[in-house]
Structure 1
Amino acid sequence: MTTTPARGAGIDRLNAIYRAGVLGRRPAVPADFGELERRAKKVSSAKAWAYVAGGAGEGRTVRRNRAAFDQWAIVPAMASAPGDRDLSVELLGARHASPLLLAPVGAAALMKDDSDLHIARAAAATASTYVMSNQGCSPMEECAAEMGDASRWFQLYWSKDEGLVDSLIQRAEAIGAGALVVTLDTTVLGWRPQDLNLGSLPFSRGIGIAQYTSDPRFQEIVRERLASPSEKPSVEVTLGAVRTLLDMSRNHPGDFWDNVRSPQPRASVETFLDIYSNPGLSWDHLATLRERTSLPVVLKGILRPDDARRALELGVDAIVVSNHGGRQIDSSIASLDALLDVRAEIGPEPTVLLDSGIRTGADVFTALALGADAVLLGRPYVYGLALAGQRGVEDVIRNVVAELDLTMALSGTRDVGSIGRGHVVESRS
């Protein structure tokens, strides 16, 4: 695993961009989030943008995630900047080059074909840990092959089928995942008006189910379904239905024309929609993880202090304070606000990551100062993917890490461990 500390990342990035500017070259990926978002929207389809950028309900949680960061101001210390900074962090027994990990983002092929392979290569090139999505568009084995020995974790959605849960865990172990990240907050899909207004769910077209169609247990379930004598539901034949069938066939493994003639793609989609997530997920389910894997276990989606305490009592190795980027519950507590309460409840020792609302290097600094050990970056790198594929993801990562490094330099912090509550105050404006 590549763990080269990001020393001088900020100055290096500034020099690279400004030297290119001397030659008349401007960055393909904007350095500010606002322009990055605007340009990504221009190159995205309506369905892709609704899924990736959209939030639950009226979007209050998405806005609240950002407003929470606006409530804090960084207080820099003068004449105390070290010459070099060390951005590396220790997480779950492994050294990571920076406190920035790539969050799992499902159905990213909406934004760019072979999305997960682009992301995997970009993560490896920037020494950034990639949390592979359970709702990915390429099998985890193919992504791992693109990464060499670079760091990766795997996200798990708890299926209704326990055999499938075990199979996905075993595959994550086999690809050398450094942790199993169990997502708790998507036992059912939230109310997402932007998708609903378009009648669009990528999984219904076979987008974002590659971890399933590549899984031996899932394939077994599909075969059993096809062999069942139960009555098959009729499908109204419309132009939209034909297009969906073609999408299913295109996104299913194997030859396109063979898939068009086969019931397999449709059966796979229907099976996925039936079993992909368990709405009855409980703490009793989670208590079985220690018997099922030797991987470090991370629970993602914790917002309440009592849930954080219960997770640690269960023996998990880390938690992720997250509201799923505002995509599941409208008017939920902001992740950054929840971080303060969670950290106060469990103390300084347990490993806590923050997800939802991170846009810039200054955001990363603020999250670290308020108690996060590391953060997960989501939408920004997917916007970079939309603009320039692998290179776009790399540019977004390098920009965020560079700004973090420069913020540390200008705030007088030598390493991530020295960033603390004394570096931020509640804003008065």
Structure 2
Amino acid sequence: MISSASDSRALFDIGDAEQAAFRALPRHVWDFIDGGSGSESTLVANRTALDRIGLTPRVLTGVTRGDSTGELLGSPVSMPLAVAPMAYQQLVHPDGELALARAARSAGVVFIASMLSSHTVEAIAGVGAETWFQLYWLRDRDRTEELIERAEASGCRALVLTVDVPRMGRRLRDMRNAFTLPSTVTAANLDASPAAGRGSTAHTEQPGSSAVMVHTAEALDPALSWADLEWVRDRTGLPLVLKGVMDPADAARAVDAGVDAMVVSNHGGRQLDGALPSITALSTVVREVSGRCPVLVDSGIRSGTDVLRALALGASGALIGRPALWGLAAGGQDGASRVLRLLHTELEHAMTLAGCADLSSARRLTTTAPADALAAHGGTTS
């Protein structure tokens, strides 16, 4: 664990938060949150693809300040951003998800609570942020249904079903570190008590392997199918968000199955190594969905300009992952709040420089990209 004292260094960009978190965290914890799967080619490609997308600013628009306010699934937000679901946040700060949810509440953005949170969904939702609950498909169908009911009862506003984890990717950093959870960190939504969680395989060292990967394989059912999606849809009145969509054919089928939104995501480069960057897949999914439901995107978002890129490519919003954890690690709730404020400042600044008065005009911006990327994401050249 790290101290809850905040880092006094100024935060000029997300890289400053990254460096502060690197200094604050033990190396094996840093590797757990920073690493990807395999050779980490998709982890790197996410950033490379975003950097290759150019925005064509509009001029003489009379815009003096870009207005980033909007809504996600009917709820007002200060910017079209959600904190992505991330497991075991007490690894990086004692307050874990509670601190990050408070930061999201203060920033006016959505907080997505992971099923594998180190605090219960009831405690997280009690913070008062706009909270969605992320669900993996468990081997225990009764436990899955119980979690859906708990999310509804605690006041969560949407259910996010992650569909790209039939099994965890081979995260080599964790395997080399023989990564295990400390006894103080548990999957609070699955363990009846902290004492019960300490005996799980997630806390038992597995030489040459990740104990978290072993624990996840025991809990998750790899046979998740379209029929199971229908089962979930039938058991909740909450808006249902499908996370992990990359192929437009899957996106079309998901809309037909009644999902209310989807997230184009390669899991931050942590699942299939070699998968195409999420931002590259975004426009083909947006075109296929054709306005029938909101489409969000994650993986590699590191600035307000990246959010603007996503909007220009047709996204309704973006999810932020590691940067929120970096802020949490460096300074708890205050550190996470500073990261979210910085993203808000950057987005409004980028919108103003691009001549965008609001989110609607941001989505009309022209994008440019190298020819090899244009065929994939449908961008245009000027």
**TM-score bracket for the superposition, by shorter chain length:** 0.7 to 0.9
Could you tell me how far apart the structure 1 residues matched to 2:268 and 2:43 are?
6
- Out of 240, 253, 268, the residue aligned to residue 297 of structure 1 is 240
Aligned CA RMSD, in angstroms, stands at: 2.1
Deviation per CA, 1:358-415, whole angstroms, max 9, x where unpaired?
A: 0000000000000110000000010011110000000000001110001111111111
Q: Which residue in the other structure is 1:211 paired with?
A: 189
Aligned AA for 1:298?
V
Name the SS for the 1:146 alignment partner: coil
Does the Cα contact within 8 Å between 2:167 and 2:216 map onto a contact in 1? Answer: no
- Out of 396, 402, 426, the residue aligned to residue 339 of structure 2 is 396
Does the Cα contact within 8 Å between 1:108 and 1:137 map onto a contact in 2? Answer: yes
Flag the structure with larger Rg.
1
Does the Cα contact within 8 Å between 2:308 and 2:362 map onto a contact in 1? Answer: yes
Aligned AA for 2:94?
D
Name the SS for the 2:305 alignment partner: helix
Does the Cα contact within 8 Å between 1:112 and 1:386 map onto a contact in 2? Answer: yes
Could you tell me how far apart the structure 2 residues matched to 1:88 and 1:412 are?
16
Deviation per CA, 1:138-188, whole angstroms, max 9, x where unpaired?
A: 1111112222xx311010011101110111001110111111000111121
Aligned AA for 2:238?
L
Could you tell me how far apart the structure 1 residues matched to 2:245 and 2:330 are?
32
- 1:76-225 alignment, distance < 5 Å: 76-147=57-128, 150-202=129-181, 205=183, 207-214=185-192
- State the percentage of identical aligned residues: 37
Q: Which residue in the other structure is 1:31 paired with?
A: 12
2:340 paired with 1:359: no
Distance 1:199 1:423, change over 3 A: same
2:350 paired with 1:372: no
Distance 1:144 1:422, change over 3 A: closer
Q: Which residue in the other structure is 1:220 paired with?
A: none
- 1:223-302 alignment, distance < 5 Å: 252-253=193-194, 259=195, 265-266=198-199, 273=216, 275-302=218-245
4+ residue runs over 4 A deviation: 267-275
Structure 1: stretches of 5+ with no match in the other structure: 1-25, 215-251, 254-258
TM-score, normalised via structure 1 length? 0.78
Q: CA deviation at 1:27?
A: 5.8
TM-score, normalised via structure 2 length? 0.88
Distance 1:74 1:291, change over 3 A: same
Does the Cα contact within 8 Å between 2:186 and 2:198 map onto a contact in 1? Answer: no
Larger proportion of helix: 1
Could you tell me how far apart the structure 1 residues matched to 2:58 and 2:8 are?
31
Greater mean alpha carbon deviation, residues 83-92 or residues 313-322: 83-92
Distance 1:188 1:29, change over 3 A: farther
Name the SS for the 2:133 alignment partner: strand
Q: CA deviation at 1:269?
A: 5.6
Name the SS for the 1:300 alignment partner: strand
Aligned AA for 2:167?
V
Distance 1:193 1:29, change over 3 A: farther
Aligned residues: 355
Name the SS for the 2:281 alignment partner: helix
Name the SS for the 1:288 alignment partner: helix
